[in-house]
Structure 1
Amino acid sequence: MAATQKVLAIIFDLDNTLIDTRNADTFAFKEVKKVLVSQFPDVDADDVVRAFRKYLVEAEKDPNEIIPVAEWRTELWQRALNSCHPKDAAYLLYRTWMTGRLEHMTFSEDVKKLLARLCKDYKLLLMTNGPSGIQREKMAKCGADKYFDGIIVSGEQPHPKPDISIFETAFEMLSATPEECIMVGDCLSTDIQGGLDSGCRATVWIDPQRQNKEIYFPSPTYSIASVLDLEMVLDDINGIASLSQ
């Protein structure tokens, strides 16, 4: 087979791909528990946090998209408190949680160095699902504008990943064809599925557990333990004749 051309662009997911969102959440909830224990001793801190996390999974934003995200999540804290405290208490928990999360949502020095190297040879685009205000705040904290040629937040688009339309927007922003792009992310159902459906040259799954990618669906082209291993994958993609071999 004829050799394929070099990868032109890399599309990155944000959460748990470039930043450790899980660790940030763990830290933030510990901070919330400290506030609950010190200021609201009449409630069980673990129960309140557990309830909030459940509500957040069920609906991280207003399904009708009427209530602003900050207000919606404050209401979730209010529900978690079982409405036994005024809204000021719920807002305190919300701000403690958000401040704690943002404090740890930064690019590590190693990730910064990786992006600095990659942006010399590739076009880079950041594509993240989530409410616009929340995700933009994270990216501002990371200084993402310094490294990326384009940023796409699903809350500003008609549809989130894995919808093909958001990938088509990415290809247009990058002035690249799907075959010139790879998709890198930690979520099989959004990042990998979207990359496959949109025809990306390759998909790279960030899987710290190093599971057998062949037993998962959708099956990514590559799986790596950390985004810091991406350059080895790029060397492989750029040095082989065809990914279908």
Structure 2
Amino acid sequence: MCNMMESRGVLSIIFDLDNTLVDTAGAGRFAIQKVYELLTSTPVLESHIRDICECYLRKLHHESFDPSEGKSIDSVRIHHWYEALQETQGTDPDPDLANSCYYTWKNTRLQALTLSPEVRSLLEELRKNYKLLLLTNGDTQTQWEKIEAVRCEGLFSVVVVGGDHPEQKPAHSIFTHCFKSAGVLPQDCIMVGDSLSTDIQGGVNAGVRATVWINSDCKSLPQGSVTPDYTIPSVLNLNDVLAELMLK
């Protein structure tokens, strides 16, 4: 039985979204710059603007969102901006300004997100020979808005957003859901993503055939972290990995 499974080869590729297929980090930097420009046209002191933006990003990085509390992700993030303005300036800001900061940031980021022609072409070619799955962590609303903005859903046999499920990557359960939805075995799949702690660790936990780490910044592998089977600088190098796997 084991030999039969080995002979099947790679049948399916599971992709992460953010900073794997799309440059979410770059879009975020562009969005923050637009908020910076917005704030320069308000009474906010220019010397405070950078600190306000950095404070918001810290809050975003440490964000803990529970939809069962009855708040929307939009309201939570508007409050991040309100607190960033308040903490930096030491006074209660105009709530409308926090609202404007948030929607400038959100809308600009969504508009800047794009699937490059090269990545789209790669996916279109890969789907001719492999079953493609998209597995992305994050809040339901936020991630589906990104997927809609990028217009990539039709390229995948299965799209799974972590916020729609009880557990997200690296939990075994969400990978099992992917395998069942696509009708594949873990040994049929490779996992491609930029996060060692969620994508690569999750793939290892789930028993996929191989894990592929997108290391666009050429970072050193952190001590004690999970070790990916392959490391490439861009998803555009994935065919090299697939060619090597075919020889095994």
1:228 and 2:200 matched:
no
**1:175 to 2:183 alignment:** yes
Residue in 1 that maps onto 2:72: 68
**Alignment correspondent of 1:119:** 127
| Residues in 1 aligned to 2:123 and 2:155: alpha-carbon distance in whole angstroms | 6
CA offsets per residue over residues 57-110 of structure 1, 9 Å max, x none?
121534864311000000000000106222111110000000111111110010
Distance 1:34 1:214 in 2: 36
- Whether 1:131 and 2:139 are equivalent positions in the alignment is yes
Give TM-score, length-normalised by structure 1: 0.93
Deviations 1:133-158 (A, max 9, x none): 11001001111122000111111000
Fraction of identical pairs, as percent: 39
Instruction: State how far apart, in whole Å, the 2-side matches of 1:201 and 1:194 are.
Output: 12
**Correspondences of 1:187-198 after superposition (within 5 Å):** 187-198=195-206
- Correspondent of 1:59 among 63, 85, 104: 63
> Aligned pairs, how many?
240
1: CA distance, partners of 2:204 / 2:190: 10
Aligned to 1:237, the other structure's residue is in SS state: helix
Tell me the SS of whatever aligns to 1:189: helix
> What secondary structure does 2:75 align onto?
helix
CA spacing shift, 1:238–1:64, aligned 2, 3 Å: same
Quote the residue 1:36 is aligned against.
39
RMSD value over aligned CA atoms?
Answer: 1.8
Are residue 149 (structure 1) and residue 153 (structure 2) matched?
Answer: no
**Aligned partner of 1:218 among 205, 226, 229:** 226
Contact 1:193 / 1:218 at 8 angstroms: preserved in 2? yes
Q: Calculate the TM-score normalised by the size of structure 2.
A: 0.92
Partner of 2:83: 79
Partner Cα distance (1:210, 1:127) in 2: 23
Report the equivalent of 1:158: 166
Distance 1:80 1:34 in 2: 16
Contact 1:20-1:105 within 8 A present in 2 as well: yes
> Which letter maps to 1:55?
K
Q: Deviation of residue 212 (structure 1)? A: 5.3
